[in-house]
Chain A
Amino acid sequence: MNAQIRKLGIALIALFVLLFAQLNNLQLRQASKLRDDPRNTRAIVVDFSRERGRILAADGTVLADSVPTDDALKRLRRYTDGPLYSGVTGYFSFNYGTDGAERTFNSQLAGKDATIASLADLLSADPKVNDVTLTIDPKVQKAASEALAGRRGAVVALDPRSGAILALVSAPTFDPNPLAAHDLNAVKTAWNGYQADKSNPLLPRAYRERYPPGSTFKVVTVAASLSSAPELISKAYPSLRDLDLRGTTKNLPNFGGSTCGGTAPELLRVSCNTGFGQMGLDLGAQKLRDRATAFGFGEKAPIDLPAAASSRFPSLDDLKTQPQLAFTAIGQLDVAATPLQMALTAGGIGNGGVVMSPHVLGKITDAAGTVVDQPEQKPWKTALSADQAAALRDMMVGVVERGTARNMAIPGVQVAGKTGTAQTVGSKAHAWIIGFAPASAPTIAVAVIVESQTDNDGQTGGAVAAPIAKRVLQASLGK
């Protein structure tokens, strides 16, 4: 029987060789395919089961943390004041991925970047996670959100000296808590609800949506004159009701049919369309475009949040006709800016012409509270010289003290600002304001947009947006 037993042994070895071949097939050849199969949620579960660092506001307020649970995903992401901060924190969802700071700082929050200090760190399933402290100031954030009072729009406040974002509000907003829940059906329902909502609450308007900046853009037009055609600043523009433009029957009218004219400071105070339209024609496309680019138009602001939109300024080809150039000079037609870009524009003027790189990250700390990372404060753009910036600032102070932005005035503080009422479809208009304070050495710059007011009458930047900006400035300055 020994011969048969040997053959049987060979047969069994052959069967085991087949098993070994199949194991190689599964664990080597097809391994990455199987690992990355969308139906294989193992990798996601690992992220969801382990500890995750907290997201904190500048003053230490906890915006997001993870609490242990009893179910298969061992930890639940919890957002205190979710809807108030969701525009910054974003969400952390099993089904729908991440957004906002949760995405940008995922590796730090998940501890993937943490250094390995001991053998225990290497063996532990729970890597040492880091906390992310944002630059958001809850006082300012709350003031901005309350002042918007449910109207669609956005508020961006930042420290012009450092680029630190103090408030980033987008309305309507969403609650990230249901998206981070563990009941996958409930998550789906919440997600579908937000998706179906026409007001698009998941969109962080503050940095991912573009609007025509309207008259707030006139500060860029003035800046272009200051830097490359100073003679236009002292030029007395004629008093007109509307500006006659070549090549169109649609002339450029003043707001509300008023008549205005004068030198640049006077034009800016009353936001004179005819004056700035003519200034645009006097400057020419190239100079206007150069200055817009110097403020950051045409480029994505380098903020540390995902998928920021770039602001837009038309190409020279689209600025060949008089109407194109004149309407562009007052922030209409194809000019489009994110609220963030307009806050940066205001901040750059307040900061002596230097636009600082915007960021929401304050610092990254480990479990012991030691700072492991801090963003560098660096200039993004140099838009103007200090003198030119000071001159523009003084004009903007005039807008608040004696012009269209009077509603932003704060007793005891010099405020600089510029309103905008951007025409959209039909009689609808977005109400804008940008500004900074204290004017001579600003600690805060702000941009506010309230979307699509029903008609022009009374719904101007000065009437609607200025009071919001005022409350934001007050909250920050403590006045």
Chain B
Amino acid sequence: MTALPRRRTELGLVLLAGLVTASALTLASLGKVGEPPPGILVFGVAMLVLLGVAHLAVRRLAPNADPVILPVALLLNGIGYVMIARLDQRLAGLQAVWSAIGIAAFIGTLVVVRRVRDLERYRYTFLVVGLGLLLLPLVPGLGRNINGARIWIRVGPIGFQPGELAKIVLALFFASYLVERRELLAERLRLRILLPVLLAWGVSILIMVAEKDLGSSLLFFGLFVGMVWVATNQWLYVAGGATMFAAGATVAYKMFGHVRTRVTIWIDPWADSQNKGYQIVQAMFAFGSGGTLGAGLALGSPQRIPAAATDFIFAAIGEELGLVGTTGVLLAFLLLIGAGLRIAILCQNPFEKLLATGLTLIVGFQTFIIIGGVTRLVPLTGITLPFVSYGGSSIVANYILIALLLRTSDEAKQR
């Protein structure tokens, strides 16, 4: 069997990811209280079981899939867990549960989706579901305003960010729609063809304005434009899309305070370092104080950065693991992106090809938006760092995302 070497590689890497996580957790506990974490053995066993189950599932369900994606995702998940545990034990417990649910969703996706191209025909279902998920928080009584953004829904005790799932569902829709229409779209511009572009633009502006979720708005529109361009190789779509988004953003800047605030504190966070600029200034201090090697796990003060466990977790990593740690995280994401695009290139089916590209673009672009935001390279737009940030919706959605990539990879290799 040709499958085995790939799986053996994966097993080794998965165990390495587990070892790194367990060691980091022990170091963090030593740094915090001077002794190893009390439940380290229980944690280690639970983690091994979880990693083992994920690996065995791939071995069983997608034996020819790429061997790098799962270990890298688990490693990022593990590093994120350690930082969250170091910041807030309660959140860490929840994150552990969400990670388990995420891996269950990962396996579930591999079980349910036996062939990715079978999904192509649910095109308009995906459109409806995707838009529905995206706009769900706007439904009165269901949506919740948290930290100024309306991106949450709450049913009973369960809170969820439907936007995290929406990006995958919409990538599915875009892929199938664009594969069908790409020749038409590539030919020449007609208003009727431009309609979907206008629709996507309208939705993204709506998210920005009504849900006050700049990050998702940017990600959603970036995903669409990127996929259109890959499908058609028409730069006009990129230029037109960028112009339209810029125009929309400019109008939003003029009309809405929350957009203006983001830009103002991006240009000069120091002017209001105790108030509006506080978060980004604290992140700057975290990166600077971390320096090259970092303060050491649990030896810095990243708890001063508001939202350190979620949007700003990369700043917490920067403070305690230094440039070495942040570079490591960047490289892990690059590995993920590289593996994802490799899958896209290797597979023959245009729908699967475009889908793999779209899914990889989501991970890459989302990572850039949030890391660029917390490092003040671009204006901050709140969004999670895939696999690393605390957040159930994000973890579950991203595990589903890599399950689709692995399924695609498995099929491509089989042929």
Instruction: Identify the A interface with B (CB < 8 A).
Output: 1-6, 8-9, 12-13, 15-16, 18-20, 22-24, 26-28, 30-35, 37, 39-40, 42-43, 45-46, 72, 120, 123-126
Contacts and interface: CB of A to CB of B under 8 A. Distances in A.
A23 B27 contact: no
A353 B338 CA distance: 83
B353 interface: yes
Nearest to A2: B345
Contacts of B326: 23, 27
A126 B34 CA distance: 7
Contacts of A9: 337-338, 341
Contacts of B288: 26-27, 30-35, 37, 40
9 contacts: A3-B233, A12-B365, A15-B364, A15-B372, A19-B372, A23-B327, A31-B289, A37-B285, A124-B30
| B: interface residue count bin | 35 or more
Contacts of A22: 372, 375-377
Interface of B: 27, 30-32, 34, 226, 229-231, 233, 273, 281, 284-285, 287-292, 298-301, 303-304, 318, 322-323, 326-327, 330, 333-334, 337-338, 341, 344-345, 350, 353-354, 357, 361, 364-365, 368, 371-372, 375-377
B287 A23 contact: yes
Nearest to B30: A123
Contacts of A6: 341, 345
A5 B337 CA distance: 11
A415 B164 CA distance: 88
Contacts of B230: 1, 4-5, 8
A8 B345 CA distance: 11
Contacts, number: 137
B27 to A, nearest CB: 7
A108 B208 CA distance: 55
Contacts of B377: 18-19, 22
A6 B226 CA distance: 12
A27 B30 contact: no
B372 A31 contact: no
Given A5-B345, A5-B357, A8-B341, 16 more contacts: A1-B230, A4-B230, A8-B229, A12-B365, A13-B334, A16-B364, A16-B368, A26-B288, A27-B292, A27-B323, A40-B288, A42-B301, A72-B303, A120-B34, A124-B30, A124-B34
Nearest to B287: A26
Given A5-B345, A124-B34, A125-B31, A39 B281 contact: yes
The binding surface of chain A is classed by DSSP as helix
Contacts of B284: 26, 34
Contacts of B304: 42
Contacts of A31: 287-292
Given A9-B338, A23-B326, A42 B300 contact: yes
A9 B341 CA distance: 7
B28 to A, nearest CB: 10
Contacts of B341: 5-6, 8-9, 12
A2 to B, nearest CB: 5
A18 B287 contact: no
A126 B299 CA distance: 10
A27 B291 contact: yes
Query: Taking each of B233, B300, B344, which has the highest tally of chain A beta carbons within 10 Å of its own beta carbon?
Result: B344
Contacts of B334: 13, 16
A1 B289 contact: no
Nearest to A39: B273
Contact of B318 (A27, A40, A123): A27
B342 to A, nearest CB: 9
B285 A40 contact: yes
Nearest to B285: A40
B179 to A, nearest CB: 10
A40 B289 contact: yes
B337 A12 contact: yes
A107 to B, nearest CB: 18
